Amino acid sequence: MKNGFNMVNLIEIQRFPVFFGLKGKYIHLFLHLMNQENQFKKVIAHAKEYGFVFLSSEIYDGLSAVYDYGPNGVHLKNNIKDYWWKAMVQGYDQIVGIDSAIFMHPTTWKASGHVDSFNDPMIDNRDSKKRYRADELIENHLNKIRSKIEKEVLKARKRIGEQFDRDTFLSTNQRVGGHQKKIDSISHRLTSCLKRSDLVGLKNLIEELAITCQVSGTNNWTDVKQFNLMFETKLGADKQSASDLYLRPETAQGIFLNYLNVQKSARKKIPFGIAQIGKAFRNEIVARQFIFRMREFEQMEMQYFIEPKTQKHWFSYWKEARLKWHLALGLGDDYYRFHEHENLAHYADAATDIEFNYPFGFKELEGIHSRTGFDLTNHQKYSGKKITYFDPHTKQSYTPYVLETSIGLDRMFLAVYTSSLKEQKLSDGSTRIVFELPPCLAPVKLAILPLVNNEELVHFGNHLVEKFKWDLSHVFDAKDTIGKRYRRQDAIGTPFCITVDFDSLKDNSVTIRNRDTMDQERIHVEHLKQVITSKVDMNSLLKTL
Ligand code: GAP
């Protein structure tokens, strides 16, 4: 059990053990990392204070890597779901949705390969008793070498100035060449060990690279063991006869088992897609970084059923379409990058991640996987049922291939959260916390604020609540000074506040304040709905896709 908002437990970064003694070149990096850590600490504190995310079972000291969403969090989460669902199911004629059960027949997981292959290699440090994923220790080591290359780039850019050409520098600089060679050789060995499940090879690599535990600073490692990430449970009251079940580690299998039911009932022809949003469960070895890596989380997955041998085309199609969906939110293009996989999951012949630049660095936000015919072929084999698709044009039956897009809803929440939360210095020297959420995702679209807590103004405000309550999510707040109330709304990301004053009683107008610019304007009540919905409406964003 962890104490929920204790950052020392929650953030996983390359930390230098304090007793190492910080020297010269490390001090700069150390300060940078401390800054990142502080930034993330603020995000977590904000999420709790303003009712976005709470640690589950907090009064019992919490449950490790399990979180609850509060009143504002559930709105933000639902709005993200809405943005994804509309883009997929309303945006494409050939995509339909389903909601399949979390419990599935246990053979599902044998056929899908999860019983045998959904493992992570784990390793313990004997001195600190801390547990790690062996592959992540090596990946982190690789990232350290990559950051050495970036440092060389920075130095050279400073030295050479405007004429600096990154590609030429990377291909000609000797030191960079040396680092790159190391990266290639380590990556190659890592991939080969993972492919062959060579646990001894992984341990040898960790020892050869002199990787140490970030807590004890020693390399006193246990052997590497495989650890299956699925949670097991029982179906049935009688212990003897109850059957073993798994909590689903991905929503995708519910789509695979239903694909023919959906295809026939929705009268779809290949290519067509099935979308689903739902909970998934993984007993992660190392679950840190707040809601980034959870044991219970939500996925938004879409399986696109295609003709075999067309997977390359659809892989690049969905890579582009998904990146476009992300960029349209306007969080900033620099936050995203693709990361092509070398170590493929057991079902894939190609895979790429859309990575997001979180406060702890670039990490996977979404996966795009070419799953071939792996899943359907195996379900056919294990069930003994024919689940081929009949092509009405060619009059041939075949097992479709699948192109999958899979995004973690909680990771998307964290991406939106960390990139939108800002501390802003104002011209009068004060600071404000402003949550610059894309307006269509904001939990509250409109705050109705009587200037003072006066009966007539409150009555007028309540009348506005009645007028807008079915169109816009709103709050009504008459407590505290107007300045404090503006700050409260800025901090939860409310795009518009309207203030009711004594003039409103005469001219039926109110003052509307913009969250980002803090500009205020007088506006007639009859124009409010049109002005606000034109800014917070999700459809205008969806139309750009
Ligand atoms: N159906 C394919 C699949 O599940 P994955 O790459 O294992 O692929 C897809 O997971 C997405 O689910 C990831 O890109 C990530 O956003 C999210 N995800 C995976 N494990 C997670 C965890 N422990 N906590 C939160 N999100 C997770």
What is the reported pLDDT for 287? 76
pLDDT at 56 over 90: yes
Residue 457 C-alpha to ligand 1 middle, in angstroms?
A: 49
Q: How far is the CA of 289 from the centre of ligand 1 (A)?
A: 14
CA distances from 342 to 134, 162, 192, 321, 345 (A): 16, 35, 10, 22, 10
Q: Nearest CA to 180 among 164, 167, 192?
A: 167
Q: Is the pLDDT reported for residue 325 higher than 60? A: yes
> Residue 449: beta bridge partners?
499
Closest ligand 1 atom number to CA of residue 284: 23
Sign of CA dihedral 447, 451, 452, 458: negative
Task: Name residues whose C-beta falls within 8 Å of residue 342's C-beta, 6 or more positions apart in sequence.
Answer: 187, 191
Q: How many angstroms does the Cα of residue 378 sit away from the middle of ligand 1?
A: 22
Residue nearest to atom 16 of ligand 1 (CA): 408
Per-residue pLDDT tens over the stretch 140-167: 999 899 999 999 999 999 999 999 999 9
> Hey, whose CA ends up nearest to atom 5 of ligand 1?
367
Residue nearest to atom 20 of ligand 1 (CA): 293
Q: Which of 67, 248, 411 is the best mutation target for the ligand 1 pocket, counting ligand atoms within 8 Å of the beta carbon and taking the most?
A: 411
Q: Who lines ligand 1 at CB under 6 A? A: 250, 252, 282, 284, 293-294, 297, 299, 301, 364-367, 404, 406-408, 410-411
User: And the tokens for 418?
Assistant: 């960390």
14 pLDDT higher than 50: no
312: CB partners within 8 A, 6+ apart: 350, 370
Q: What is the mean pLDDT of residues 368-388?
A: 96
Digit-coded pLDDT (tens) for 406-442:
999 999 999 999 999 999 999 999 999 999 999 999 9
Beta strands in 90-162 (DSSP E): 95-97, 119-124, 131-133
Which atom, in ligand 1's list, is nearest to the CA of 282? 23
- Over residues 436-449, the pLDDT tens digits come to 999 999 999 999 99
427: tokens are 């011209």
343 C-alpha to ligand 1 centroid (Å): 15
pLDDT of residue 347: 80
Q: What's the pLDDT score for residue 195?
A: 84
Higher pLDDT, 9 or 393: 393
Mean per-residue pLDDT for 453-466? 95
Question: What is the per-residue pLDDT across 200-215, written as a single tens digit (0 to 9) for each?
Answer: 999 999 999 999 998 9
Query: Which of 24 and 74 is assigned the larger pLDDT?
Result: 74
Q: Is the pLDDT of residue 7 over 50?
A: no
**Banded model confidence at residue 27, pLDDT cuts 50, 70, 90:** low
Atom of ligand 1 nearest to the CA of 299: 12
CA of 276 to the centre of ligand 1 (A): 14
Residue 277 Cα to ligand 1 middle (Å): 12
**499 has a pLDDT exceeding 70:** yes
Mutating to test ligand 1, I would choose from 406, 409, 414, 416 the residue with most ligand atoms within 8 A of its C-beta, which is 406
CA-closest residue to ligand 1 atom 12: 408
